[in-house]
Amino acid sequence: MGTSVKKQLQWGILGTGLAAKLMTRDLVQQGHQVAAVGSRGQDSADSFAGLFGIPRAHGSYEALVADNSVDIIHVATPHNLHAENATMALLHGKHVLVEKAFTVNRAEAATLAQLARSLNLVVMEAMWTRFLPHMDFVRAAVRRGDIGDITHIQATHAQDLPADDDHRLNRLDLAGGALLDLGVYPISFAHDLLGKPQDIAARATFKKTGVDGTVSTHFTYASGATSETFSSSHQAAINDAIITGTTGQIAIAAVFYEPAAVVVTDNGGVVLSRYERSLAGRGMQYQALEMERLVTAGERDSPLMPLDQSVEIMGVMDAIRSEIGLRYPDE
């Protein structure tokens, strides 16, 4: 009898912006199979396909999700389209990796989660930081009690990004702004380690287009721990993170949400352990590996980025927007 060869899962890329390019580059370089791309127009689809050597280019999102050769869709459109595009892909029987922020609000997230479960398909938030090796190191150090109990987390994500009013980040109708694009990183980081906060306080500054330019948050948790996050779309910062515990500290060097060095010390400054490792590419292939593992194993929820937690995080960001007075036009 011959040995059957397992078919490699085929990816489809929905959208052709920066997030799609970064993800596709790592997929292709690390040997994953990208079968098709879909854009709102044929020219942009053809250009993207040519850039990465993708066999099929579709001039609409509808054509991509109907492509029978595709197993997994990466949704990389503006935030306001995440739920719509992911829903369309699920209804065509595709597993879906949705760029962060997962949706615009908790209601959309909960509906999307329910749909995926009813169809027995994987839908996962593309919070790629969670799947990086240095975060495995951090979580293991916390679980072992290397720094005692966590008492405080501080994390920043600030960049000097385009100021053009028509850029998607500066358009309220596309759910632009610092919170959903940048703030989701430190907020999800704190959620990963401390869970859902009990109390949420937030402050923001706004751009002339109505989007949030900076957002700072202060969370408190049932354990008594606290966390602080800061995000900005118009000023750069040292984007590091510090986890303070009762007996020590974990410092994640800039940029904390990318492959980064980690140092664990006790309260006297003595180094207990270090982590530093270079990775091939940007490291976005790790979330792809998790998606493929889930699909192949018949699992439907990742322990590293649980679907219920994506819904919870959108609820936290709803509460932040309520605090700062931010509402999107279609809500």
Residue-wise pLDDT tens digits, 69-105? 999 999 999 999 999 999 999 999 999 999 999 999 9
Domain end residue (candidates: 127, 155, 177): 127
Count of CB atoms situated within 10 Å of the CB of 221? 18
In a domain, 231, yes or no: yes
Are 169 and 96 within one domain? Answer: no
Q: Supply the CATH number for residue 198's domain.
A: 3.30.360.10
Cβ(53)–Cβ(42) under 8 Å? no
- 25 Cβ contact list (under 8 Å, min separation 6): 52, 281, 282
Residue 2 has pLDDT above 50, yes or no: no
In a domain, 286, yes or no: no
Q: 210-266, pLDDT tens digit by residue?
A: 999 999 999 999 999 999 999 999 999 999 999 999 999 999 999 999 999 999 999
Distance CA 276, CA 291 (A): 25
Are 80 and 183 within one domain? Answer: no
Burial call 116-142: b when 16+ CB within 10 Å, e when fewer:
beeeebbbbbbbbbbbbebbebbeebb
The whole-model pTM stands at: 0.95
Residue 1 has pLDDT above 50, yes or no: no
Residue 331: pLDDT band (50, 70, 90) is confident
Residue 4 has pLDDT above 90, yes or no: no
Are 114 and 138 within one domain? Answer: no
Are 175 and 195 within one domain? Answer: yes
Cβ(264)–Cβ(248) under 8 Å? yes
Peptide bond into 101 cis (omega under 30): yes
Residue 38: pLDDT band (50, 70, 90) is very high
Share of the chain above pLDDT 70, in %: 98
In a domain, 272, yes or no: yes
Distance CA 12, CA 70 (A): 6
Are 140 and 91 within one domain? Answer: no
Burial of residue 148, with CB atoms counted within 10 A of its CB: 0-12 exposed, 13-18 middle, 19 or more buried: middle
In a domain, 209, yes or no: yes
Are 102 and 218 within one domain? Answer: no
SS3 string, 122-146, reads CEEEECHHHHCHHHHHHHHHHHHCC
Domain end residue (candidates: 101, 127, 153): 127
Both structure tokens of 273: 């352990």
SS3 string, 28-93, reads HHCCCEEEEEECCCHHHHHHHHHHHCCCEEECCHHHHHCCCCCCEEEECCCHHHHHHHHHHHHHCC
**H helix or E strand, kind and range, residue 227:** strand 226-232
Distance CA 171, CA 164 (A): 9
In a domain, 302, yes or no: no
In a domain, 292, yes or no: no
Are 21 and 119 within one domain? Answer: yes
Are 14 and 88 within one domain? Answer: yes
Q: Give the pLDDT score at 7.
A: 76
In a domain, 2, yes or no: no
Domain count within the chain? 2
Q: Give the pLDDT score at 102.
A: 98
Q: Give the pLDDT score at 3.
A: 41
Are 99 and 175 within one domain? Answer: no
In a domain, 212, yes or no: yes
Q: Give the pLDDT score at 6.
A: 57
Residue 281: pLDDT band (50, 70, 90) is confident
Return phi, psi of residue 70, to 5°.
Answer: -95, 135
Q: Supply the CATH number for residue 110's domain.
A: 3.40.50.720
Are 44 and 172 within one domain? Answer: no
Residue 203 has pLDDT above 50, yes or no: yes
Rounded to the nearest angstrom, the gap between the alpha carbon of residue 184 and the centroid of all alpha carbons in its chain is 7
Residue 50 has pLDDT above 70, yes or no: yes
Are 157 and 119 within one domain? Answer: no
What rounded mean pLDDT belongs to the chain? 96
Are 114 and 166 within one domain? Answer: no
Domain end residue (candidates: 76, 103, 127): 127
Average pLDDT estimate for 298-311: 97
Distance CA 25, CA 38 (A): 16
Segment 196-203 long-range contacts (CB within 8 Å, at least 24 positions apart):
196/221, 196/312, 196/316, 197/221, 197/227, 197/316, 198/222, 200/316, 200/319, 200/320, 200/323, 201/323, 202/319, 202/320, 202/323, 202/324, 203/323, 203/324
Domain boundaries, position 18: 10-127
